[in-house]
Structure 1
């Protein structure tokens, strides 16, 4: 009897409450959200979410690497003096040519920053071709599985696009103006092994490597950091 009494009192009170006290729209929305959260993702949602993640990550990476100092002031991807010329760098610095060496390093990073502007459209084209099979492999793969997919699909095309841009950029920032005097000075030293690396290829390879490192960082952010999931779809797929 006591239980019935409380139920009756409750039923009598509810009609008295104003609409402002009972927000039926909010209740409906909360119920729908609760139901939707428990709904399994469809294949189309998974693919759409992964495409969105790849697009966000690749655009962010292209933007951050192509800006001024995008390579030069990022220790993860800064392009150093060519490793095969490490002895040359050491010798030239010992001869008091620190500024000339540093100026050269700055210019090769500027060339990579210029070339990185070409990356976004190549990435977007590859993302459009993502299949359900690709998507499931990426979703179940490592924290950088999407980056691996992009590298596999775009490496050749990016290299083809990067190389002439690097060549043009090295001319624009006058890499040879800084390199030639260094090489001539070093190669004139008796008994040293002459050094003449393919600078365009070196900058292209290091530029692409750096670009994919930044893409992988962006992917990890989306997978692990809720604040990096900037759309509802990303929150749903990676939440």
Structure 2
């Protein structure tokens, strides 16, 4: 049976995420012809590949407290005495809604993956030394500052469409029962949360690579990070 375009794309992205960066052979200096800026690009690429490899798995957002999407207030909120609001405050219902939202975020992350990788390739690093000597997530902070808006915009249409589809049945039932819910605002809220979660996940991977660059077996990363 032929694979759908979405599944095919996800399959390719996950496969790429699990591949190591191409190593450099025959360097005449520790960095060869590569600059410190190139080292940052490699650091961010590997960090992003590892982050998306986790996020694109079933439950990739929900199963991790660092990346979990929470139920927006416009769905969960309500007046005192509001029966629906009381139901939504129960743990079982909120967990089911949260799981549906996080499942939507997994699909939307497919759209964000190439945006992040393109942003890394085009990233301008004005002061590579300060980034490399910065905190454990300094490179991710730089990337997020330049690319977060594009990442959120890439996910927003996918999330908006999913919230209106049968794929989020319990969420759809809740929205149908609660009048005045703004689908656009709801989709934007989830997209913003997912965008923040993606960069938190990338930052975690960056910190891990900085802590043990030797484990990457990448000569450029080992050189620019000092083989700590």
Alignment of 1:56-205 (within 5 A): 56-88=46-78, 91-93=86-88, 99-131=92-124, 133-172=126-165, 174-175=167-168, 177-183=169-175, 185=177, 198-205=185-192
**Aligned equivalents of 2:163 and 2:178: distance in 1?**
21
TM-score norm. by structure 1 comes to 0.69
Deviation sequence 1:166-214 (CA, Å, 0-9, x none): 1233345633x32343345566xxxxxx765732111101100111110
| Aligned partners of 1:221 and 1:228 also within 8 Å | no
Question: Residues 69-95 of structure 1, C-alpha deviation per residue, up to 9 Å, x if partnerless?
Answer: 10011111111221355445861157x
CA gap of 1:221–1:133, structure 2 versus 1, over 3 A, is: same
Calculate the aligned-residue CA RMSD, in Å. Answer: 2.9
CA distance in 2, matches of 1:127, 1:74: 25
SS in 1 for 2:64: coil
Distance 1:233 1:74 in 2: 31
State whether residues 101 and 190 of structure 2, in contact with CA within 8 Å, keep that contact through their aligned partners in structure 1.
yes
Query: Structure 1: any 5+ residue segments left out of the alignment?
Result: 1-35, 188-193
CA contact (8 A) 1:79 1:207 kept: yes
* In structure 2, C-alpha distance between the alignment counterparts of 1:46 and 1:221, rounded to whole Å: 19
Question: TM-score, normalized by length of structure 2?
Answer: 0.72
Gaps of 5+ in 2: 1-27, 79-83
The count of aligned residue pairs is 193
Are 1:43 and 1:132, in contact at CA under 8 Å, matched by a contact in 2? no
For the residues of structure 1 that align with 2:68 and 2:47, how far apart are their CA atoms? 20
Would you tell me which structure has more helix in proportion to its own residues? Answer: 1
Label 1:173 to 1:221 Cα distance change in 2 as closer, same or farther (>3 A). Answer: farther
Question: CA 1:121/1:183 → structure 2, altered by over 3 Å: closer, same or farther?
Answer: closer
Cα distance between partner residues in 2 of 1:195 and 1:101 = 17
- Distance in 1 (CA, whole Å) between partners of 2:175 and 2:38 is 51
Larger Rg: 1
